[in-house]
Amino acid sequence: MFKRILIANRGEIATRIILTCREMGLHTIALYEAPDEGSRHVRMADECALLDAPLGFLDQEAILRIARETGAEAIHPGYGYLAEEPEFVAACEAAGIVFVGPGTAVLQTLRNKIETLARARAAGFPVVDYAPVAFDERELKVLEIAADLVGYPLVVKSCSGGRGSAERLVRTPQFLETAVHRAQQEAQAVYGNQRVYLEKAILPAHQIGVQILADKQGHIIHLGEREGSLQYSNRKVVEEAPAPCLTDDLRQQIWQAALDIARLFQYENAGTVEFLLDNDGNFYFTEIKSRIQVDHALTEMMTRINLVEEQLRIAAGEPLRHTQADVRLDGWAMLCRIHAEDPWRRLPSPGRLRRVRLPGGPEVRVDTYVYSECDVPDKYDPLIAKLTVWGADRARCLARARRAVEDLQLVGTPTNLPLLLHVLCAPEFADGRYDTSLLDAEFKCQPQHDTYYRDLAVIAAMLYVRRNQMFRPSVPVRALNAWHQDSRRLPE
């Protein structure tokens, strides 16, 4: 096992990795840019290094130079940035530095999303319909022809990132050019590669991801599935495990398909095999996320297996410490993604958080980099925290999630906490009867109990008084005697 590890990421995932490294006795080196100088991950690491490079966390040469200068034996990329970049992995291998993730060959294969779908289809797995070529901004006419062949509605996806960032839903041809342009801009900013491809949209659908672990010796296990169908402004907001839409038989089929697909690509380290499930119970393979994911905390709560620790041990060449028979999926878990943004205007809201109060209690976990009087930079993704809870069953888990969101206090800049609470209180979510269509633009917040509006009126009234009351200091009349007056009299 290596002893010094460089964390090539920031925010809540960097703090998450540091915590595990400290428990394992590993020396951590945190990278940071100037806007993140006061971030929690910088304060927690054993040492830190300023990443003063034009490309920031996408600058491979700068990161490798810092790794060599600090004596790092391994680099953990977290998610995003260089986590799925085969050229960076190859550069790490050439420099004799361990990359915590899949090897170059696996990433090179999975990076080609179209080839990945083609190989899976040839192996007999059901996949979504897609255009068999990728496009850049100069190929709009060819792209329009391909879109007609795939059929509307369709999804524009990044060749580097897949589902999530740089994904755009296109319902009719007149919006194709705008959607492609915006997807390419975001893909270039996030992944450094603007090429996109087209995929037939399945509407409505359920988004299912199966967590897998695979070592270098060829052993592969799954750790159950997660459902991330609740998305708002192209971002997941609430996820849960297990997926309430699956029957026991369908769940077993998806688990087995995930293991077989991982073996097909000779996968190693932690990853997620993703599927779309339609309302008729048909599931389709879409991609493999070859990294740890934002929602990995759900799996950790369900299995009590530390995925970051397993990543590090696998990267160091150790075999899996768990067999499939060892994996126990107990209870229910829910995760809320907390963003610094105005959810009603769908705009990010960087700024200073004057007060941060995190929820507590049994089976409540918060992954975050923020604290009272910290700044949320405008340069990065607005995700500032993840709230994960566990319960013995779904009803108790949901009640705990609602309570934890109510207890979480973030004062100073708008966040999506009100939206999260409305989602958790929505009847469709409470009954487990939801899909990707629930948080469409027409999503209506459910009316609250009368006491909610009563308390809200009291809060608004008190806030109005505080902001408008004038405080005029004055001296009591009895203090204005001759002695005081004489002491203040100017000499003539």
Please give the positions annotated as active site.
291
Strand order in the sheet with 98-99: 47-50, 27-32, 4-7, 74-76, 98-99
Max CA-CA distance within the chain? 105
Half-sphere exposure of 433 (CA within 13 A, CB side): 4
Alpha-carbon span 335 to 239, nearest angstrom: 5
How many other CB atoms sit within 10 Å of the CB of residue 347?
11
Sequence-distant (≥ 6) Cβ neighbours of residue 292 within 8 angstroms: 13, 78, 79, 83, 270, 307, 308, 311
Distances (CA, A) of 167 to 88, 109, 211, 429, 471: 24, 21, 22, 24, 53
- Coil, strand or helix at 197: strand
DSSP for 101-151? Answer: S--HHHHHHHH-HHHHHHHHHHTT--B--B-SS-B-TT-HHHHHHHHHHH-
Closest C-alpha among 200, 194, 198, 189 to residue 138:
194
Give backbone dihedrals phi and psi of 197, rounded to 5 degrees, phi first. -140, 170
Alpha-carbon span 445 to 428, nearest angstrom: 12
Sequence-distant (≥ 6) Cβ neighbours of residue 270 within 8 angstroms: 101, 211, 212, 213, 291, 292, 296, 307, 310, 311, 314
The continuous run of DSSP H or E covering 191 comes out as helix 176-191
Alpha-carbon span 130 to 200, nearest angstrom: 6
Instruction: Using only the alpha carbons of the chain, give its radius of gyration.
Output: 26
Alpha-carbon span 28 to 23, nearest angstrom: 11
Please check whether residue 301 is in contact with residue 316, taking contact to mean a CB–CB distance below 8 angstroms.
Answer: no
Distances (CA, A) of 109 to 114, 287, 464: 10, 11, 59
Q: Which token pair is 358?
A: 């995190």
The continuous run of DSSP H or E covering 384 comes out as strand 383-391
Give residue 372's identity as a one-letter amino acid code.
S
Alpha-carbon span 269 to 20, nearest angstrom: 16
Q: CB-based burial of residue 270 (10 Å sphere; 0-12 exposed, 13-18 middle, 19+ buried)?
A: buried
Please check whether residue 413 is in contact with residue 340, taking contact to mean a CB–CB distance below 8 angstroms.
Answer: yes
